[in-house]
Amino acid sequence: MSKLAIQGGAPAKTKAFPAWPQHDELERRALLEVLESGNWWRSEGDKTAAFERAFADYHQANHGIAVTNGTHAIEVALAALDIRPGDEVIVPNATFVATASAALFAGALPRLVDVRADNFCIDPELAEAAINERSKAIIAVHLGGCPADIDALKSIANKHGIALLEDAAHAHGSEWRGRKVGALGRGGTFSFQASKTMTAGEGGIILSDDDGFERMARSVHDCGRLPGEWFYSHYHYGSNYRLSEWQGAVLLAQLTRLDEQTARRNTNGRLLDHLLSQIAGIKPQRLDSRATRNGHYAYIFHFEPRHFADITRPQFEAALQAEGIPTQPPYPPLHQLDLFQSGAYKHRLSGAQAAEDHAFLRAPFPNSVREFEETIWITQRALLGDEQDMREVAAALQKISENAAELT
């Protein structure tokens, strides 16, 4: 094996990885049951409520509120914290735009901070340094499923009297010191969009152990209603973020596979850590020893370009895909997005805050930039394969390492 597949050689990968999404008779029966029951709306059916309960139980959380998607989950969580114009929310710069845009939807400024060089999750020291009198919350993102340093973030949030939220859209089933992530701060949010490790096409949920937060989030997600009160009484600001029974039914079925699939991805991820560490210039995303399980929305590693003939990340990805390994692009650093560069984000801010110069947007954010330019994300379905599949991933990378000069 020497000639790269992208140059016409034989791909390193011979058998196909498992497909995604997965379903079987469980989803089929669940959907038919909803269809024939005539209860297609959560307020009439029992599927979405049962799913909330089951997902919260699995994640060792007291409460779960199912919502339309993972973006809305963050919006509802911020509304439940009463975050408003004039406030600031501390957000890592390497994440999907939703983590920051949800703050903008509340009229608050997302204060972007850089991530750590080793795991590309929010840097707790930089998060603390970004706190000022307007700060109301820190959002930790468990990037790729790898838990952020919850202990450090929680103690910072407590010390300054602000909330810690987890954007756990990548981290279904991930664990920190044996506890599932998602309700380790005031609240946590998940996505069930098609690429995520459980899916109904779209969907989301908010978890929390905090009764007051749960009550507000539930009210916000249902037009400001309160459970048990008359249908046309509305107590709080709210909107309609309710999940349908179709999605609740599919997610109940998906949840039955989550634990086994998470365990498999975690085991394969640790095998890849071992295999890839032996390739010069590759460094797997660092999993803290307190992170007892990684749900692996993706398998992320950093590559040192000089060990790969200075090829770019898109060149690296294209070569890996040609070898038969599915990848997905990393997130561009938020501060580089047009949304922030053009000033369009200010349309959501109130007068005084919109008029300010947000100098932090001109900071270099070196680790978020490395996340974008020098990390490779192997798609989660590849981690559902077997040990042989992982050895073939490593072989593909070894081949690229040996032949990278051909790509320049």
Ligand X SMILES: *Cc1c(COP(=O)(O)O)cnc(C)c1O
Span 103-142, contacts to ligand X by CB under 6 A:
141
C-alpha to C-alpha distance for 108 and 121, rounded to whole angstroms? 22
C-alpha to C-alpha distance for 110 and 397, rounded to whole angstroms? 37
Which residue in 116, 170, 242, 399 binds ligand X (CB under 6 A)?
Answer: 170
232 carries an active-site annotation: yes
120 carries an active-site annotation: no
Determine, following the binding rule CB under 6 A, whether residue 167 of this chain makes contact with ligand X: yes
C-alpha to C-alpha distance for 239 and 236, rounded to whole angstroms? 10
Q: Which stretch binds ligand X (CB under 6 A): 31-39, 114-122, 164-172, 277-285?
A: 164-172
Q: What share of the chain is helix, strand, coil (3-state, %, to 5)?
A: 45, 15, 40
338 carries an active-site annotation: no
Report the nearest approach of ligand X to the CB of residue 277 (Å).
26
Cβ burial of 400 (10 Å; 0-12, 13-18, 19+) is buried
Report the nearest approach of ligand X to the CB of residue 93 (Å).
12
Determine, following the binding rule CB under 6 A, whether residue 193 of this chain makes contact with ligand X: yes
Span 62-81, contacts to ligand X by CB under 6 A:
69-71
Q: Which stretch binds ligand X (CB under 6 A): 90-98, 158-166, 252-260, 263-271?
A: 90-98
Catalytic residue among 72, 116, 242, 313: 242
Three-state secondary structure call for residue 236: coil
Report the nearest approach of ligand X to the CB of residue 130 (Å).
19
Residue found by looking up tokens 């989660």 in the block: 380
Report the nearest approach of ligand X to the CB of residue 261 (Å).
17
Closer to ligand X by Cβ: residue 6 or 298: 298
Closer to ligand X by Cβ: residue 69 or 135: 69
Determine, following the binding rule CB under 6 A, whether residue 204 of this chain makes contact with ligand X: yes
Catalytic residue among 55, 193, 210, 389: 193
Catalytic residue among 47, 116, 142, 170: 170
Burial string for 36-60 (b: 16+ CB within 10 Å, else e) reads eeeeeebeebebbeebbeebbebbb
Closer to ligand X by Cβ: residue 6 or 200: 200
* DSSP code, position 44: T
Catalytic residue among 231, 232, 357, 362: 232
Q: Is the dihedral of CA 306, 309, 314, 317 positive or negative?
A: negative
Report the nearest approach of ligand X to the CB of residue 370 (Å).
18
The residue sitting closest to ligand X, measured at its beta carbon, is 70
Residue found by looking up tokens 């703050």 in the block: 103
Q: Which stretch binds ligand X (CB under 6 A): 162-170, 220-228, 341-349, 392-400?
A: 162-170
Report the nearest approach of ligand X to the CB of residue 357 (Å).
28
Determine, following the binding rule CB under 6 A, whether residue 96 of this chain makes contact with ligand X: yes
Burial string for 237-263 (b: 16+ CB within 10 Å, else e) reads ebeebbbbbbbbbbbbbbbebbeebbe
- Residue from 255, 318, 243 nearest 59 by CA: 255
Sheet containing 135-141, strands listed edge to edge, beginning at the edge strand earlier in sequence: 63-67, 204-208, 187-191, 163-167, 135-141, 88-92, 109-113
Three-state secondary structure call for residue 193: coil
Copy the structure tokens of residue 19. Answer: 């497909």
Determine, following the binding rule CB under 6 A, whether residue 299 of this chain makes contact with ligand X: no
180 carries an active-site annotation: no
Contacts by 347-354, CB closer than 8 A, 24 or more apart: 348/104, 348/105, 348/107, 349/85, 349/104, 349/107, 349/108, 349/109, 350/85, 350/86, 350/107, 352/86, 353/85, 353/86, 353/109
Residues 173-192 as x/- pattern, contact with ligand X by CB under 6 A: ------------------x-
170 carries an active-site annotation: yes
346 carries an active-site annotation: no
C-alpha to C-alpha distance for 295 and 73, rounded to whole angstroms? 19
Determine, following the binding rule CB under 6 A, whether residue 169 of this chain makes contact with ligand X: yes
Which residue in 48, 93, 95, 398 binds ligand X (CB under 6 A)?
Answer: 95
Report the nearest approach of ligand X to the CB of residue 279 (Å).
27
Residue type, 158: N
Closer to ligand X by Cβ: residue 92 or 124: 92
Cβ partners under 8 Å of residue 339, min gap 6: 97, 101, 345
Q: Annotated active-site positions, please?
A: 96, 167, 170, 193, 196, 225, 232, 242
Return residues touching ligand X (CB under 6 A). Answer: 69-71, 95-96, 98-99, 141, 167, 169-170, 191, 193, 204
